[in-house]
Amino acid sequence: MVQLHGVEQGPFPLEHVRELARSGQLNASDPVSFAGQPWVPAASAPGIFSNKSWIAAVLLSFFLGGLGVDRFYLGYIGLGVAKLLLGWLTLGIWPLIDFILILLRKVHDANGLALR
């Protein structure tokens, strides 16, 4: 069960609740309840949101994105290495695009979970 804009909805399977979080319809502070348990913030419920912070990803992308640190932080090791070795060839375009995507919450962690 989830509460969106004060209205109880559900019950939904966990994958549907994850999709609500990925699409931005479910915020980390919105209440959720599993199997009759008490209502808790969605960020506290396991498996809905990543343990990675969105603000940390934004700051890492802004200050160290050219070195791929943002992608390493999110768990994309291969992309981090590629960005570290080849990012300079794009003359800063790749880090800029990654920064914008992270800022707009379009990038999730390596497990596909929305950032907190």
- Looking at residue 53, its pLDDT comes to 95
Q: Is the pLDDT confidence value at 54 over 90?
A: yes
Domain identity same for 59 and 98:
yes
Q: Is residue 48 part of a domain?
A: no
One-letter identity of residue 45: A
Domain identity same for 61 and 97:
yes
Q: Is residue 90 part of a domain?
A: yes
Domain encompassing residue 18: 2-41
Domain identity same for 96 and 58:
yes
> How many domains does the structure of the chain reveal?
2
Two tokens, residue 33: 């309840």
Q: Is residue 116 part of a domain?
A: no
- Looking at residue 80, its pLDDT comes to 96
Quick: pLDDT tens for 57-86: 999 999 999 999 999 999 999 999 999 999
Two tokens, residue 42: 């969605």
> Considering the chain, what is the average pLDDT of its residues?
93
Contact 71, 80 (CB under 8 A): yes
| The residue to which tokens 């379009």 are assigned | 106
Q: Is residue 112 part of a domain?
A: no
CA–CA distance, 97 with 41 (Å, rounded to integer):
31
Q: Note the pTM of the prediction, 2 decimals.
A: 0.85
Q: Is the pLDDT confidence value at 36 over 90?
A: no
Q: Where are the beta strands (DSSP E) in the chain?
A: 2-4, 7-9, 31-32, 40-41
Q: Is residue 36 part of a domain?
A: yes
